[in-house]
Amino acid sequence: MSENILEEIFIKRSQQKKKTSPLNYKERWFVLTQEKIAYYDFDPDKKKRKGLRGSVDLEKIKCVETVQPEPNTPRERMYAFQIIYDEGPLYIFAKNEDVRAQWIKKLKEVSFNKDLMQKYHPCFWADGLWLCCQQEVKQAMGCKVLDGKNEKTIWPLPPQPPESSGPSVGMAVIAEYNYKPMTAQDLELIKDEQYTILEMSDTNWWRARDKYKEGYIPSNYVVAAESELERFWYSKNTNRSQAEKLLRTENKDGGFLVRDSSKAGKYTVSLFSKGGESGGSCRHYNICTTAQGQFYLAEKHPFTTIPELINYHQHNAAMVSRLKYIVSNRARPPSTAGLGYVWEIDPRDLTFIKELGTGQFGVVKYGKWQGQHDVAIKMIREGSMSEDDFIEEAKIMKLRHENLVQLYGVCTKTRPIYIVTEFLSNGCLLTYLREGLKQHPTTVQLLEMCKDVSEGMTYLESKQFIHRDLAARNCLVDGNGTVKVTDFGLSYVLDDEYTSSAGSKFPVRWSPPEVLLYCKFSSKSDIWAYVLMWEVYSLGRLPYERLNNTEIVEQVSRGLRLYRPQLANEKVYSIMTSCWLE
User: Among all residues, which ones are annotated catalytic?
Assistant: 469
Out of 356, 394, 420, 539, name the contact with ligand ADP by CB under 6 A.
Answer: 356
CB of 421 to ligand ADP, least distance (A): 5
423 binds ligand ADP (CB under 6 A): yes
Out of 376, 391, 420, 529, name the contact with ligand ADP by CB under 6 A.
Answer: 376
Q: How far is CA 186 from CA 285, 371, 397, in A?
A: 42, 18, 21
Cα 425 from Cα 430, distance rounded (Å): 14
How many C-beta atoms lie closer than 10 Å to residue 118's C-beta? 11
What, of Mg ion, ligand ADP, none, does residue 538 touch, CB below 5 to 8 Å by kind? none
Half-sphere exposure of 471 (CA within 13 A, CB side): 17
- Of 210-218, 360-368, 455-463, 497-505: span binding ligand ADP (CB under 6 A): 360-368
One-letter amino acid at 159 equals P
Long-range contacts of 22-27 (CB under 8 A, 24+ apart): 23/126, 25/77, 25/93
Out of 65, 387, 487, 526, name the contact with ligand ADP by CB under 6 A.
Answer: 487
CB of 475 to ligand ADP, least distance (A): 10
Phi first, then psi, for residue 52 (nearest 5°) are: -70, 130
Q: Which is nearer to ligand ADP, 54 or 359 (CB)?
A: 359
Q: How far is CA 122 from CA 14, 23, 80, 84, 160, in A?
A: 18, 19, 10, 12, 20
CB of 329 to ligand ADP, least distance (A): 22
Residue 211 marked as a ligand binder: no
Maximum alpha-carbon separation in the chain? 89
Cα 82 from Cα 71, distance rounded (Å): 18
403 binds ligand ADP (CB under 6 A): no
CB of 354 to ligand ADP, least distance (A): 10
Q: Which is nearer to ligand ADP, 304 or 358 (CB)?
A: 358
Residues 347-376 that bind Mg ion (CB under 5 A): 359
- Of 13-21, 190-198, 239-247, 351-359: span binding ligand ADP (CB under 6 A): 351-359
**DSSP helix/strand/coil, 541:** coil
Q: Which is nearer to ligand ADP, 121 or 473 (CB)?
A: 473
Q: How far is CA 337 from CA 217, 274, 293, 400, 404, in A?
A: 10, 38, 41, 6, 11
Out of 257, 428, 490, 568, name the contact with ligand ADP by CB under 6 A.
Answer: 428
Q: Which is nearer to ligand ADP, 359 or 513 (CB)?
A: 359
Which residue's Cβ lies closest to Mg ion?
487
487 binds Mg ion (CB under 5 A): yes
* Distance from the Cα of residue 475 to its chain's centroid: 18
The binding site for ligand ADP (CB under 6 A) comprises: 356-357, 359-361, 364, 376, 405, 421-424, 427-428, 476, 486-487
Given the rule CB under 5 A, which residues bind Mg ion?
Answer: 359, 474, 487
